[in-house]
Amino acid sequence: AAKGDRVFANPSSMTGSIGVYIGYTNYEELMGKLGINNDKIKSGAHKDILSPDRPMTPEERALVQGMVDDIYEQFVDVVATGRQMDPQQVRELADGRIFTGRQAQAAGLVDEMGNYYDALDYTANLVGLPATDVPTHEYDDASVSWQRLFGAELRSAFRESIGSLARREGGSARTEWEAPHAQ
């Protein structure tokens, strides 16, 4: 939205979350409990950086932090340029927090309170077309699924693996995921 000519938001919209993070999970202890050892042959010292089967070294952590910091500065620059704000002002907002639409407007991240149809009307007036003639694209809720995210085969393997691990530990597992539904 930072590059848009005009940004609309409902008063109760959740927006913001300006910032960057890289998630990292370490399964080394779990794999050890299960007797699984992962050996690697790699082409470089950092080829398996962020590998889930071992902790990061301090050097790797510094490399990843450097990436996060660089991407963060790029993000701040895009927002500052797109919203015509001072980069320091953006940095003060860019700590990952979220805002309501009203809060975002007060902070300069949103231009106008409005909904999809208000934005469509604005665009129609801008280009001199009736709102019904402005090209749009609707996304189906079902377009986000395990199959699209991971592929059917990986989903099946994931379910089998989690179920097997749970049974081995004396429990059971239910692995389901549903796309959030628009309200």
pLDDT band at 107 (very low <50, low <70, confident <90, very high): very high
* Inter-residue long-range contacts of 174-182, CB under 8 Å, 24+ positions, other chains counted: 177/146, 179/141, 179/142, 179/143, 179/144, 179/145, 180/141, 181/141, 182/141
**Amino acid in position 158:** F
Q: Domain boundaries in the chain?
A: 8-135, 137-183
Is the torsion defined by CA of 69, 73, 79, 80 positive or negative?
A: positive
> Alpha carbon of 147 to those of 115, 137, 152: distances in Å?
31, 22, 5
**Amino acid in position 97:** R
| Residue 133 near residue 124, CB atoms below 8 Å | yes
pLDDT tens for each residue of 7-39: 999 999 999 999 998 988 899 999 888 898 888
Is pLDDT of 139 > 80? no
| Residue 71 near residue 61, CB atoms below 8 Å | no
pLDDT tens for each residue of 61-83: 999 999 999 999 999 999 999 99
158 φψ region: left (φ > 0), alpha (ψ -120 to 50), beta (else): alpha
Neighbouring-strand partners of residue 14: 100
Is 166 buried (19+), middle (13-18) or exposed (0-12) by CB count in 10 A? middle
- What pTM, to 2 d.p., does this model score? 0.68
